[in-house]
Structure 1
Amino acid sequence: MTLVREKRQKQSLRVTVPSISQANSWQRLQSSPPSSSSSSSSPGIDNLANFEKLAVLGHGNGGTVYKVCHRPTNVIYALKVLRFMEEPEMVQQRAFSEVEILRRVDSGFVVMCHGVFENGFSGADGIEDICFLLEYMEGGSLHDLLRKHPMLSENAISGIARSVLEGLHYLHSMQIVHSDIKPSNLLINRKGEVKIADFGVSRCIAGVDKEQCPSYMGTCAYMSPERIDPDRWDGVHSDGFAGDVWSLGVVVMECFVGHFPLIKPEEKPDWINLMCAICFEEKREMPETASAEIQSFVMRCLQRDWKIRGTVEELLVHPFVTKFEESAAEHLFYYASVM
């Protein structure tokens, strides 16, 4: 959606929101802004009173994501508002963990965070929020794209895989495990670029207790065997990096077959069926129309034994990723432009 269209529909898109407090921006949650953000680059970007909510982009993980406009510059951002409602201690722990991660990351393959605010919006119950001011990705999520185009070309899927691998390579080098790679956490901009988002269940493994983020947190459909059944698959000794690779393999396969690939379309995606499919059943075969390259890529990602699963470094030079390097961006741009 262009800025002209956004301005024309602005009145109809406006939603009722609580009053905005101007206090405590950038305080207590972090001692300094994230490396990827700059509150001085745009006037008033460190003050939530300068933003207007235009629409709701999505819900999930205890929060709501809004499309907002920065009035002084007319620049569009996404604002993730996390409420401390049920289980406030767990939500707070996850929020502060996410803040710590967002302070550190700065990559073209990760959605940029421009600021983190506390006491931004307060509801009638007096419960305060934490707000994340994020880069706005015009194309929405890969989940949104797959609803319009359930089956993507191998060229486009290759570009998605390469972007996610580049993002994971960066995050893993920072000792960050994402833990929730799935279509709704992979966002697309108007250029067709794919970036990793949502660090609500992510964790830093360097000098941090592994139990800070329990293995069951995240979306179970995309979880690796060692996370779902750590006793059987030696998950206790896994650093978590291989789990992100498994999740990417499921995403790649889903993009090709047009539905969640580990269970049959008619099966109910409940915990029992998912656990059995991920940990015990025979591997789902790729359709005969799949090239040898994508079949090999998926096989390397979906090795149940995490110790022999493909690594990010290996997969970045896999033939499926390198074969379509010149044309992948164009194909993905096409899908993003016709959403």
Structure 2
Amino acid sequence: MAVVRERRHLNLRLPIPELSDRRPRFPLPLPPTAAATTTTSSATISAGDLEKLQVLGHGNGGTVYKVRHKRTGAFYALKVVHGESETDVRRQVRREMEILRRTDSPHVVRCDGTFEKPSGDIAILMEYMNVGTLESLLKTHGTFSEPKLADVARQVLNGLNYLHGHKIIHRDIKPSNLLVNDKMEVKIADFGVSKIMCRTLDPCNSYVGTCAYMSPERFDPDRYGGNYDGYAGDIWSLGLTLLELYLGHFPFLPPGQRPDWATLMCAICFGDPPSLPEHASEEFRSFIQCCLQKESSKRWTVAQLLTHPFVCKDPR
């Protein structure tokens, strides 16, 4: 007996965040023998100042806690990787620390400090995005309408425009790595597998990031032009992310089907890119097509997508 599910659209206002004042830079991480403190421009925060309240999630070998500053009452997110973690995991968190210290954008999650304890534990103190992730919103509120997705796309593109302008490729754009606060600002997070491009022609074809959201050139660079522009992989991932938020399931698979690596690789490399249903607007369909060109050289850049009619509409 077929089960008919009501299609729910997320009815939330997603204003475009105004550009904020530039944030202060943070110092390099303390050596393992140093005290577990970090200094910002406004105050010195030690690990002892923070009270753990609850676990927010797990990812890339670390645990993320909601914490509260005992004196000020301010809430933060604290990502902790323990000293006994695998080398790859520790390398990822150090890469994330390096990138977050470089970033200064209202569209990228803010880093409020870093800690290293003598025990080898590494932690990153970040702004607390109290609504959660786009993935959690999809689960709790249902699928997103086109106007809300246009606002999401605009905000993420502004974040990618900043990152790409500073030669940073995220390589893991997906709903669970896009955080939301109660102002409905969407910010890019989780830079554990990101890459800083030291030279314009640095290759970016390695099998890092989440397999399901990888672009075709990440699997087959010779066929799909992986060396042409590593930044294009973030655009492909954004297109899949928007499709997932609209459809309610991962675009390459039927609803409820669990993905496996081989199936996904074949679908991404040998199948046609997923598309929107007929009832979607022409502008939205065009935007997704611009993101999901299989050849990376044909994919639109961030700058081009920011001029697309889909994201240039006035927010509703």
Q: Same fold (TM over 0.5)?
A: yes
Give distance in 2, aligned partners of 1:264 and 1:141: 23
| Equivalent residue in structure 2 for 1:139, among 131, 136, 139 | 131
Cα RMSD (Å) of the superposition?
A: 2.2
Aligned pair count reads 285
Give distance in 1, aligned partners of 2:135 and 2:39: 30
Q: Conserved in 1, the CA contact under 8 Å of 2:66 and 2:77?
A: yes
Consecutive unaligned residues in structure 2, runs of 5 or more: 1-27, 33-37
Code of the aligned partner of 1:65: V
| TM-score after normalising by structure 2 | 0.85
| Equivalent residue in structure 1 for 2:152, among 132, 141, 160 | 160
Q: What residue number does 1:326 align with?
A: 315
Q: What residue number does 1:72 align with?
A: 71
| TM-score after normalising by structure 1 | 0.79
Code of the aligned partner of 1:180: D
Q: CA deviation at 1:150?
A: 2.9
Q: Conserved in 2, the CA contact under 8 Å of 1:62 and 1:82?
A: yes
1:9-47 CA-to-partner distances (Å, cap 9, x unmatched) read xxxxxxxxxxxxxxxx94138xxxxxxx96242x442x1
Q: CA deviation at 1:80?
A: 0.5
Give distance in 2, aligned partners of 1:53 and 1:86: 20
Q: Conserved in 1, the CA contact under 8 Å of 2:275 and 2:289?
A: no
Q: CA deviation at 1:208?
A: 9.6
Matched, 1:271 2:261: yes
Q: CA deviation at 1:92?
A: 3.0
Give distance in 1, aligned partners of 2:41 and 2:164: 30
Q: CA deviation at 1:230?
A: 2.2
Matched, 1:224 2:225: no
Give distance in 2, aligned partners of 1:238 and 1:119: 41
SS in structure 2 of the partner of residue 198 of structure 1: coil
Q: CA deviation at 1:176?
A: 0.2
SS in structure 1 of the partner of residue 242 of structure 2: helix
SS in structure 1 of the partner of residue 132 of structure 2: coil
Q: Structure 1 residues 163, 191: CA separation in 2 closer, same or farther (over 3 Å shift)?
A: same
Q: What residue number does 1:27 align with?
A: 30
Give distance in 1, aligned partners of 2:189 and 2:256: 30
| Equivalent residue in structure 1 for 2:164, among 163, 172, 189 | 172
Q: What residue number does 1:259 align with?
A: 249
More helix by share: 1
Q: Conserved in 1, the CA contact under 8 Å of 2:68 and 2:75?
A: yes
Q: CA deviation at 1:72?
A: 1.1
Q: What residue number does 1:10 align with?
A: none
SS in structure 1 of the partner of residue 121 of structure 2: strand
Q: What residue number does 1:50 align with?
A: 49
Consecutive unaligned residues in structure 1, runs of 5 or more: 1-24, 30-36, 123-127, 328-339
1:69-109 CA-to-partner distances (Å, cap 9, x unmatched) read 01110000000012344532x22322222222111101000
Q: Conserved in 2, the CA contact under 8 Å of 1:84 and 1:91?
A: no
Code of the aligned partner of 2:62: G
Code of the aligned partner of 1:316: L
Give distance in 1, aligned partners of 2:105 and 2:315: 21
Which moved further from structure 2: 252-261 or 93-102? 93-102
Give distance in 1, aligned partners of 2:82 and 2:229: 30
Give distance in 2, aligned partners of 1:67 and 1:77: 6
Give distance in 2, aligned partners of 1:57 and 1:266: 25
Give distance in 2, aligned partners of 1:243 and 1:149: 28
Give distance in 1, aligned partners of 2:273 and 2:217: 16
Q: CA deviation at 1:248?
A: 0.2
Q: Conserved in 2, the CA contact under 8 Å of 1:158 and 1:320?
A: yes
Runs of at least 4 residues of structure 1 off by over 4 A? 207-211
Code of the aligned partner of 2:166: M
| Equivalent residue in structure 1 for 2:191, among 195, 199, 203 | 199
SS in structure 2 of the partner of residue 307 of structure 1: helix
Q: Conserved in 2, the CA contact under 8 Å of 1:150 and 1:259?
A: no
Matched, 1:111 2:102: no
Q: What residue number does 1:187 align with?
A: 179
Give distance in 2, aligned partners of 1:288 and 1:281: 20
Q: What residue number does 1:250 align with?
A: 240
Q: Conserved in 2, the CA contact under 8 Å of 1:139 and 1:190?
A: yes
